[in-house]
Structure 1
Amino acid sequence: MIVLGDFKPMLAPYVEAARGAGDEVLVLAPEKANHFDIVTPGTPNGDAVADWIAANAFGSPIATPKPR
């Protein structure tokens, strides 16, 4: 599993190498993702990443807390 943001061009060779070796690679590339929002809970991309990881690693999405 890999999440692509600002560093997508630098990470693409790792994805290709893993797939070339026969590994399954799940890729998430949120729209307009940057280096920070993909790891920041409460942002649209951060919540999407957390749900994607939970669904793919654990089998079900997590409940995202609503802002107060």
Structure 2
Amino acid sequence: MKWFDYTALTLVIIGAVNWLLVGIFRFDLVAFLFGNLSWLSRIIYTLVGLCGLYLISLYGRITSAS
């Protein structure tokens, strides 16, 4: 399951960089690459959001490991 943690973390980092670009330059990289709210960009936004929600469980795993 460690591969899923790394995949989720990678997608959330990509999403964070995208939001950084939106915040600083008003440039949405996902919309630029895949179209403005096309079905593919909506899937990417959904996957990033789901991975973010999944990574909330990281807090519980960190405290239980220490």
Task: Please confirm whether the aligned pair reaches a TM-score higher than 0.5, indicating the same fold.
Answer: no
Q: TM-score, normalised by structure 2?
A: 0.28
User: Per residue, is there more strand in 1 or in 2?
Assistant: 1
User: Which is higher, the Rg of structure 1 or of structure 2?
Assistant: 2
Q: TM-score, normalised by structure 1?
A: 0.27
Instruction: Identify which of structures 1 and 2 has the higher relative contact order when contacts are C-alpha pairs closer than 8 Å and 6+ apart.
Output: 2
User: Per residue, is there more helix in 1 or in 2?
Assistant: 2
